[in-house]
Amino acid sequence: MLIRLLVVVVLVLFLWLGSRRMTLVPSRGQAAFEFVTGFVRNNIVIGTLGQKDGKRFMPILMTIFFVTLGMNLTGVIPGLQIAGTSVIGLPLIMAVIAYALFIYAGVRKFGGRYFKNALILPGLNPIMAAFLAILELLSTFILRPITLCLRLLMNMVAGHMLLVLCFAATDFFFFTVLAGGNPLGLLGVGTFAFGIAFTLLELFVAALQAYVITILAAIYIQMALAEEH
Amino acid sequence: MLNAFVAKAAATPSLLLPQLPDLIWGTLAFVIVLVVVVWKVVPRLNAALDARADAIEGGLKRAEEAQAGAQEALERYNSQLAEARAAAAGIRDQAREDAKRIRAELVEQAQAEAARVLTSAQAQIEAERQGALVSLRAEVGAIAIDLASGVIGESLNDKRSNDIVDRFLADLEASEAAAAKAKA
């Protein structure tokens, strides 16, 4: 829990200070800040949802991105070493928010017709339509939040496990095997190198998963807002 | 043994079952960040980006206007230049016309003058010829009388001499006229 509070404090400071003095001609810091926020704003949100709807859902999607990114990055920060998202709580919250968001978007635009549009494909015979409606129900309303949650969770858990494995093995090889006089302990060099490589990989995965969950949420909203199939 | 396994599973938190504090704190963290984003980040970001877009668009628009103005000025100058050229050509043509007219007038005047001079000269010549003819007639008569007087040794009286001279001259004129007629 402390890790999360720390992340929240850091995020708030970053976002607050970064957006404090936005000038027409950006300074270096502002350019860097704008690069990140502008990436989320333009590439993820507006690129998927368009200008008008993008602006409506901008704040919450941006929050999803930055909270996920921050919590993911704690997995590789020395002293923290565990991702806030490698416990099911946060991924579940993100998934529920995304789920609520796209259903809200669809219902807001189409009312009750949204569920009919989402489930029933026009122009099919009733049996096929019923069959496909069950599939759509499964994929849209049941599997989507589960996959959103589990994708993020398992990526982070797996990354954490890999790092733990590598560094625990290094520790074991150096301080137990090598210290016991066995040259096999030099294998620890290899496991340490793998640990470094996976740390870099985790950095990448942290950013990637934040991107993935945000753009998926945006895409789900876009599909809910789209006209009938 | 089964009991021990179940007890152990219950003791270590499940990977897939969320715990209540986890959810509460996670939600709180999300909400805090969301508030900051809604309250500060997005408005500031949008304002800054919009202002920049405006500045760029304004700059482009101003440049376009300036270009249009320059184009217009160029066209105006070109048309003025063309007008000036046309005016100059008109003036040149006019001058050429004038010169031609003046030259023609001068030639005409000169011709008239020459004709006048010629006429007066002819009249003068004619008058002088007449005068010469009259004086010649008188003198020729006198000389002829003198000559004849010398030849015949006596003086002719005036009446007769005059008659003789007149007859002679009339004969002379008649023979001249006949000669002229024959020549014609």
Within 8 A of B20 by CB-CB distance, chain A residues are: none
For residue B1, the model assigns a pLDDT of 43
Q: Which residues contact A23 (CB under 8 A, 6 or more apart)?
A: A30, B48
B116 versus B149: which is more confidently predicted? B116
* pLDDT tens, position by position, A157-177: 888 888 888 988 888 888 888
For residue B12, the model assigns a pLDDT of 59
Judge whether residue B15 has pLDDT over 80: no
Q: Which residues contact A74 (CB under 8 A, 6 or more apart)?
A: A3, A6, A7, A80, A81, A82, A83, A84
Q: What does residue B5 show for φ and ψ, rounded to 5 degrees?
A: -60, -45
Interface contact A55-B46, CB threshold 8 A: yes
* pLDDT tens, position by position, B70-112: 999 999 999 999 999 999 999 999 999 999 999 999 999 999 9
B148 versus A174: which is more confidently predicted? A174
pLDDT < 70 stretches in chain A: 1, 227-229
For residue B167, the model assigns a pLDDT of 83
Taking the CA of residue B60 and the nearest CA in chain A, the distance in Å comes to 16
Number of other residues whose CB lies within 10 A of the CB of residue B76 = 10
| Cα nearest neighbour of A6 on chain B | B29
Percent of chain B with pLDDT over 70: 89
How far is Cα A103 from Cα A139, in angstroms, rounded to an integer? 14
Interface contact B26-A8, CB threshold 8 A: no
A vs B, Cβ pairs < 8 A, gives: 101
Judge whether residue B9 has pLDDT over 70: no
How far is Cα A51 from Cα A223, in angstroms, rounded to an integer? 16
How far is Cα B96 from Cα B100, in angstroms, rounded to an integer? 6
**DSSP class per residue in A135-186:** HHIIIIIIIHHHHHHHHHHHHHHHHHHHHHHHHHHHHHIIIIIITTT-GGGG
For residue B154, the model assigns a pLDDT of 64
How far is Cα A187 from Cα B52, in angstroms, rounded to an integer? 56
A24, A55, A67 ranked by CB distance to B52: nearest: A24
| Cα nearest neighbour of A51 on chain B | B46
How far is Cα A130 from Cα A157, in angstroms, rounded to an integer? 38
Residue with tokens 């008188």: B138
